Amino acid sequence: MNQSPREILSCRHVGFSVDAPGGRLDILDDITLSLNAGETLAIVGASGSGKTTLLGLLAGLELPTSGDIRLADADLKQLDEDQRARLRRRQVGFVFQSFHLLPSLTALENVMLALEIAGFDGVHERAVKALTQVGLNHRLDHYPRQMSGGEQQRVAIARAFAGNPAILFADEPTGNLDRRTGQSIADLLFDLNRDHDTALVLVTHDMDLARRCAHIEEIVDGQLVEKAVTG
């Protein structure tokens, strides 16, 4: 008997506004989307359209002005800031355009630190396994300055996946890389998505990368204007 897909992310009629000198500024308006465990979603749109703002809301970094978001079975509006942070540490991974590695720590120490903060046991073994999965078992003791951009992004991906998150948010993960390196990083993200059954949400301006996802949502001026299913 087949199990029904488990919804890992749900966003219903979400809006986000801020107070600006000229009055209230609406950044997102009536955003509705959902994603099941293990699925892939690309969020595309021009600079300033609200992509990164939406990503932050979906991850619980900020709360929406209106509407509701459920992440890993939790209603984000019902959680305080500390509870949302705990949820992220256990259920969410992040990969950014800028790698956000600590320069004074080795690759292994960067991954171990994230696991320690999240409260995992066996952090050394987990970190070694994660770095081996991204092909960096020979770089464990290297510092970020001793690694290429692609290798640094692999460390960031290992850090994101080391705790086996339910969902990974990636904001322009290939944006600082040359095309060939970016392709290998994209391959790695989709391989880990498949192997770990981790849902993947990509914010990208690269339509070739977006088309590798099962779902695409396009934002124009803070609103979803197109829904497409690929593959």
pTM of the model: 0.89
The token pair at 198 is 């981790």
Q: Taking 80 as the threshold, does the pLDDT of residue 4 lie above it?
A: no
Rounded CA-CA distance 159/165 in Å is 11
| CB atoms closer than 10 angstroms to residue 12 | 14
Q: Does domain 7-229 sit in CATH 3.40.50.450?
A: no
Question: What count of Cα atoms within 13 Å lies in the side-chain half-sphere of residue 79?
Answer: 23
Query: Is residue 231 scored above 90 in pLDDT?
Result: no
Considering the chain, what is the average pLDDT of its residues? 91
In this predicted structure, what is the pLDDT of residue 97?
Answer: 83
Spatial CA neighbour of 16 closest among 73, 77, 79: 77
Most confident of 47-51, 134-138, 221-225: 134-138
